[in-house]
């Protein structure tokens, strides 16, 4: 298939439509507004619906209703807006409804700024809403991967009846790259026989719900959710690694930051350093096991993030104290440069090549 040049935010919309998503409920916020704008143009052409809600809270609850009715549906926002969506996300996790939620992250806390950041890692992977729930969190590093993960994300959501979050940042949303739209791997997707479609007099009423007043029933529901999360952990981990069997230092980075890290690694290799990379593509489930493959002589793991250190917690869990874990990050919309990362790696390395 021929490649087309697309801006990240618009590619998300095109990929969603490619995946059969005809419904989008959103609210404007920088730096993701090109996505709802794209959907406002494109969805009516295919008989779908774009609706600008009165707030992010309303938008996610519209998604809740639409997902309960059995269709593929999407919403998007950026960090402060995503904070508002947490209520609906928790309800959807509780009621086990599939949907795809896109967070094009900007700096925080509060209103923060509008430049790229990765400060919502905790919010996305630890659950920004109430209750013991998990989202599948996918972190693309380029526009092609963004497209692939959106398309596959709808399948993952339907397969497990669970919300899927695409965690990008202002950089990937705004950059233009060539993309092609590929079929994802075939999955055996269950019938949505639980959806509210009207009984048509043919079946008992379907109820979409996250309320279980009896404690034994709520515990049972949670045990069921946890079993599902275990299955996702077993089957859906995605990670890209480079030279971790040989690297004297291994860097952990995800999303657009990982691309800056790759540039830094090339520079270090030209100078004779051996540096590895672990790039989690799923932030939940996290690729903990990949860190077991790091060579024993590795001097340390460097986590690079556009925040003050959030994924570093998962890196520390993954290495189980076997290696020292270091951090380098820029925040507030500042982007780390390859030179800064090179300097940090050399410090950890300590000189001898």
Residues that bind other proteins (CB under 8 A): 23, 25, 49, 51, 53-55, 57-59, 61-69, 71, 73, 87-88, 91, 95, 196-201, 205-211
CA distance to 53, 59, 168, per residue, from 25 (Å):
6, 5, 19
Q: In angstroms, give the least distance from the CB of 198 to other proteins.
A: 4
Asked if residue 284 lies in contact with residue 334, where contact means CB atoms within 8 angstroms, the answer is: no
For tokens 């439509």, what's the residue? 17
Q: In angstroms, give the least distance from the CB of 34 to other proteins.
A: 22
Q: In angstroms, give the least distance from the CB of 203 to other proteins.
A: 9
- C-beta of 95 vs 335, nearer to other proteins: 95
- C-beta of 65 vs 332, nearer to other proteins: 65
Alpha helices in 236-308 (DSSP H): 255-270
Asked if residue 140 lies in contact with residue 8, where contact means CB atoms within 8 angstroms, the answer is: no
- C-beta of 84 vs 319, nearer to other proteins: 84
Q: In angstroms, give the least distance from the CB of 160 to other proteins.
A: 20
Q: In angstroms, give the least distance from the CB of 67 to other proteins.
A: 8
Q: In angstroms, give the least distance from the CB of 209 to other proteins.
A: 4
Q: What's the CA gap between 82 and 190, in Å, rounded?
A: 29
The 282-284 sheet, strands edge to edge: 49-52, 23-26, 73-77, 99-105, 163-169, 136-138, 282-284
- C-beta of 75 vs 331, nearer to other proteins: 75
- C-beta of 207 vs 353, nearer to other proteins: 207
Q: What's the CA gap between 9 and 13, in Å, rounded?
A: 7
Beta-bridge partners for 304: 328
Sequence-ordered strand ranges (E) for 28-98? 49-52, 73-77
Residue 6: both structure tokens together: 């697309």
* Environment class of 18 (CB within 10 Å of its CB; exposed 0-12, middle 13-18, buried 19+): middle
Q: In angstroms, give the least distance from the CB of 187 to other proteins.
A: 23
Q: How far apart are the first and last CA of the chain?
A: 45
- C-beta of 202 vs 270, nearer to other proteins: 202
Residue 146: both structure tokens together: 């963004």
């Amino acid at each position: 298939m021929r490649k087309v040049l697309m801006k990240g935010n618009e590619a998300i919309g095109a990929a969603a439509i490619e995946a059969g998503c005809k419904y989008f409920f959103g609210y404007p916020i920088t730096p993701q507004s090109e996505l709802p704008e794209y959907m406002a143009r494109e969805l009516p052409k295919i008989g779908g619906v774009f609706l600008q809600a009165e707030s992010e809270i309303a938008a996610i609850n519209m998604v809740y209703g639409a997902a309960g009715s059995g269709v593929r549906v999407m919403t998007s926002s950026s960090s402060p807006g995503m904070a508002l969506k947490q209520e609906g996300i928790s309800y959807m996790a509780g009621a086990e409804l599939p949907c795809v939620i896109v967070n094009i992250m900007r700096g925080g806390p509060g209103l923060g700024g509008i430049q790229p950041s990765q400060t919502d890692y905790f919010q996305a992977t630890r659950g920004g809403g109430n209750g013991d729930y998990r989202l599948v969190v996918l972190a693309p590093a380029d526009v092609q991967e963004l497209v692939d993960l959106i398309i596959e994300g709808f399948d993952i959501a339907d397969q497990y009846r669970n919300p899927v979050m695409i965690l990008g940042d202002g950089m990937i949303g705004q950059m233009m790259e060539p993309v092609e739209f590929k079929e994802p791997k075939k999955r055996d997707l269950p019938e949505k026989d639980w959806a509210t479609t009207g009984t048509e007099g043919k079946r008992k009423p379907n109820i979409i719900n996250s309320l279980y007043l009896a404690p034994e029933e709520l515990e049972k529901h949670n045990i069921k959710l946890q079993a599902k999360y275990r299955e996702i952990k077993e089957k859906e981990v995605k990670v890209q690694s480079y030279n971790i069997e040989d690297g004297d230092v291994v860097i952990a980075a995800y999303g657009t930051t990982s691309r800056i890290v790759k540039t830094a690694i090339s520079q270090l290799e030209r100078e004779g350093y051996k540096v590895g990379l672990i790039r989690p593509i799923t932030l939940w489930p996290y690729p903990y096991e990949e860190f077991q493959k790091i060579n024993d002589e590795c001097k340390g793991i460097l986590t690079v993030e556009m925040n003050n250190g959030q994924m570093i917690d998962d890196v520390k869990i993954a290495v189980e104290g076997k290696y020292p874990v270091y951090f380098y990050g820029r925040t507030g919309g500042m982007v780390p440069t390859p030179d800064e990362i090179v300097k940090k790696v050399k410090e950890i390395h300590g000189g001898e090549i």
